[in-house]
Each structure stands twice: as C-alpha cells, then as structure tokens.
Amino acid sequence: MDGHDVVEATLAAGATIAIAATTSAANCRWANNSLTTNGVERALSCTAIAVEGGAVGSEGLDVTALDDCRRAAEWARAAARQAPPAADAFALLGPADAPAHPAPAAGPAGAESLRPLVDPLAAVLERARRDELCCFGYAEVQAATEQLGLTTGLRAGGRRVAGTVSMTVKSKDLRRSAWVGAVAADLGRIDLAGLYDRAAARLAWAQRQVELPAGRYQVILEPSATADLILRLVWEMHARGADEGKTAFAGPIGPRVGERLYAREVSLRGDPGADGMETPAFVRATASSEYSSIFDNGLAVAPTTWVDAGVQQPLMCPRAWARDHGHPVRPPTDNLLMDGDGPELAAMIESTERALLVTSLWYIREVDPTTMLLTGLTRDGVFLVEHGEVVGAVNNFRFNESPMGVLARTLEVGRGEPTISREVGGDVLISAPPIRVQDFCFSSVSDAV
C-alpha cells in the first residue's frame, strides 16, 4: 500500500479531493560528547476533502489499511453536509492544470540514511573530548512524497528530501557556547568536522568577554539569522491580509506591490525545482487560508519572485480572492531563496571597521502584525568585530526589529548558501546569505548564554 493506493481508495469512497503523504525520518542525538539516542519513523496519512453543494468537509487520518480511506471520505462528506457554502468556492482544476513533469517519489529515510555521519561524528566527539569541550547535537534526514487526486481526473505527485544537522559546542564550565547548523539533500554532503571547527573557533573568540549596552548597532547576520527574518517576512506576504489592512503590506489604496520596500541588493524567490531544494510543484491545501484554497488543489506552482532588486512583487493569492479583488493568482512556494553573489562571511568580516556578528536568533515572537515588528533573543554567540577582526564575545541581547526594516537598511548582501533556520529547523528549505545591516535595534541586554 502506498500513496497512490490511498488516493484512489479515498476517491472511490466518495471524496472529491484526496491527498496522501508518505513520510519517513531517521535521526540521532548526542550530548556531552556521547551518542544518546537514534530512531526511525514512518507514516502514511490521508486527507479526504468532500465538496457538496459548494460546501466543504475535510478529514485527515493516519492510514494502516485502505478501510481508513473509506472512513475518512465518509466523515468528510458528513462534515460537508453540515457546513455552510464556502466563501472561496471555485471550479475544481482538471488534468490540464497539473504540473507538466511530476517528480518521482522520495525513497524512505531509514537507519542507512545516517550512515554517512557515523565515522565523522565519532571523530568529532573524540576531538571534543580531547579539546576538553562539550559537544551536543541533533541530525535528521526527512523524506516525504505527497500525492494528490481529484474526481476531475487531475493527479499530481511531488517529493521533498532534506538532511539537517544542528550542533552546539560549549566550554567545560558551560559559560561559553556556540551553535552551528547545516542542511543538504543528504547528510553525506554536510561537513561535520567543518561545523565543529567553526564552533570551536567561536569559543576561542569568546575567551575575551566584552560587555556592551543595548542600542542600535551595525550587525552582520549569519545566514541562519537572515533565514529566520526572511521567513517571517514571506509568511506575511499574502494579498488578503494586505487588503484587510492587517499586515505591513497594506497601503492607502491597496497592497504595497511595486514599491521599493527594501535595499536594491535584496531579492527573494521560491523555486520548486531548485537544485538540492526540490519541493512538490503543486498546491496541496487541506484547508483554505490566506495562502491557498481547497479549490486550488493541483494548481501548478512555478518559480516565483517575491522581491526583485528591492521591489515588492505581487503577494500570495488564491484564485477566489484574486477574482474578487483584482489580483494575480500567486500560489505559495515551499522553499525560499535569497539571492546573493557577494563576498563570503570571512571577507565581510575583514572589510568591517566595527560591527556585531550575530550567529543565530531565538524565541522570535510577533509584537505588531501591522508593522511586522518582532522581538526575540540572540543566542550562542554575538561577537565584536573591529578593524577586520573578531576581538571578543559580547553579551546577548533582546532585539525589536521588523524584517521589512532590516532589509530596507541592508548595506551588503553576501553569498547565498543552503542554511537552517534556528527557529523552524529543516521544515522549510532555505538558501540565505550573510547580510550587513545598519542600526539593528537591540532593546535590552539578555542574560542568555
């Protein structure tokens, strides 16, 4: 039994739309220089969606037998019969609307997926013991195949595979801490020894401690910190929120599309076919939202530009909202790429007179959606750069910033690379560069390590 069987069984049982997801993951964790746990997970799930008289019902289940598909379809139909007409009702898509080249299924992630890490991890843990440091971390490979079917005859399938590593290295007394992370299509492409070297170098920087007050500073954000901010920015890029005046994209006469909201060096896009960052190239919506509609299931997702040389491009918009409000249809993309062909991080540091190097952000929360104001903490390493060199570690801070404001005050964009969001992990595939930002607002000093 696979996702194809689940889709066909769900449609045969009376559902209008069926979405099947076959997911697997293999992971391992280490702490205090020793491997502690490892595991493998596999799941097959089904979402049955019924559309009856313009009303919608939906039911999702984990599937162990095809009879689960029948139950999901029956419950979805019962829910549709009790629901009011859907505000976003639209004609369902047919076979001609599906992606032209369906992606092959992703092979399952099993214990063998971790094999490329075995020897490198053993070597890293031995080095940490020899260096009298404490190494902690987590590695995971995720593989997912999603398949979609509609009673109109549309069929689509796509895959997503990602390997991620998150590593923290601490001094023996736990007073100094450095975090590093990486993502790749498989763990064999991640240089574990290189990650350890970066973290250990940062601990060496931190042997000198510098206390600084809260205030506005020029900063260099490492790719992971950049990723956390651009991800929050794109989450707000939906036309509905702008039309309703609920987001920072609301303008006096409509969404702020076509405005130069960011520095010219800033460009953002999504691409389901990006090398090493492939994602399903069609809409899969188990519920309608600002981003997509149940009635848009199967809509092909093309490479999409969200910001072009600092200029905001059209926002995410389902077909029904586009029809009713005069916007272009713009389905969401499942990955995010911030283009940058500037210098690497080391070269940016060498050209810096004075700035703070921020390695990662943490505990990011929204303060005001109408201005996109966020608050959060720095963690595991903020460093002072003077005259082209890192001269010591600085206390951590709480920051109050808007991603829109950060990208408007961006002075330099470095070289983009696949990176892991510290907040979200590997759930979203992101490529981001280090960026130099003027007047980054640190609102208070934090006692975090």
Indicate if 13 and 90 belong to the same structural domain.
Answer: yes
Domain end residue (candidates: 154, 173, 203) = 203
Indicate if 140 and 255 belong to the same structural domain.
Answer: no
Indicate if 151 and 260 belong to the same structural domain.
Answer: no
Domain end residue (candidates: 144, 175, 203) = 203
Least confident of 3-17, 107-121, 237-251: 107-121
Check residue 390 and give its pLDDT: 97
pLDDT in tens, 148-183: 999 999 999 999 999 999 999 999 999 999 999 999
Domain end residue (candidates: 145, 180, 203) = 203
Check residue 168 and give its pLDDT: 97
Check residue 367 and give its pLDDT: 96
Q: Name the percent of the chain lying above pLDDT 70.
A: 97
Check residue 423 and give its pLDDT: 86
Check residue 428 and give its pLDDT: 87
pLDDT in tens, 92-118: 999 988 877 655 665 666 678 888 999
Check residue 98 and give its pLDDT: 80
Q: What's the CATH number where 187 sits?
A: 3.30.2290.10
Distance CA 59, CA 81 (A): 13
Check residue 193 and give its pLDDT: 96
Residue 200 has pLDDT above 80, yes or no: yes
Q: Take residue 309 and report the two structure tokens written for it.
A: 């040389």
pLDDT in tens, 58-80: 999 999 999 999 999 999 999 99
Over residues 269-293, mean pLDDT? 95
Indicate if 120 and 142 belong to the same structural domain.
Answer: yes
Residue 29 makes CB contacts below 8 A (sequence gap 6+) with 35, 36, 37, 38, 137, 138, 139
pLDDT in tens, 364-400: 999 999 999 999 999 998 999 999 999 999 999 999 9
Indicate if 271 and 133 belong to the same structural domain.
Answer: no
Torsion angles phi and psi, residue 226, rounded to 5:
-60, -45
Check residue 319 and give its pLDDT: 97
Indicate if 278 and 411 belong to the same structural domain.
Answer: yes
Indicate if 40 and 89 belong to the same structural domain.
Answer: yes
Q: Name the percent of the chain lying above pLDDT 90.
A: 88
Torsion angles phi and psi, residue 45, rounded to 5:
-125, 160
Indicate if 336 and 396 belong to the same structural domain.
Answer: yes
Over residues 80-99, mean pLDDT? 93
Residue 356 has pLDDT above 70, yes or no: yes
Indicate if 244 and 383 belong to the same structural domain.
Answer: yes
Indicate if 301 and 194 belong to the same structural domain.
Answer: no
Domain holding 59, by residue range, is 3-203
Residue 268 has pLDDT above 70, yes or no: yes
Average model confidence (pLDDT) across the chain: 94
pLDDT bin (cut points 50, 70, 90) of residue 39 is: very high
**Bigger pLDDT: 114 or 267?**
267
Query: HEC string of the chain?
Result: CCHHHHHHHHHHCCCCEEEEEEEEEEEEEEECCEEEEEEEEEEEEEEEEEEECCEEEEEEEECCCCHHHHHHHHHHHHHHHHCCECCCCCCCCCHHHCCCCCCCCCCCCCHHHHHHHHHHHHHHHHHHHHCCEEEEEEEEEEEEEEEEEECCCCEEEEEEEEEEEEEEEEECCCCCEEEEEEEECCHHHCCHHHHHHHHHHHHHHCCCEECCCCEEEEEEECHHHHHHHHHHHHHCCEHHHHHCCCCCCEECCEECCCCECCCCCCCEEECCCCCCCCCCCECCCCCCCCCCCHHHCCCECCCEEEEECCEECCCEECHHHHHHHCCCCECCCCEEEECCECCCHHHHHHCCCEEEEECCEEEEEEEECCCCEEEEEECCCEEEEECCEEEEEECEEEEEECHHHHHHCEEEECECEEEEECCCEEEEEEEECCEEEEEEEEEEEECCC
pLDDT bin (cut points 50, 70, 90) of residue 449 is: low
Indicate if 252 and 371 belong to the same structural domain.
Answer: yes
pLDDT in tens, 394-430: 999 999 999 999 999 999 999 999 999 988 877 889 9
Indicate if 167 and 262 belong to the same structural domain.
Answer: no
Domain tally for the chain? 2
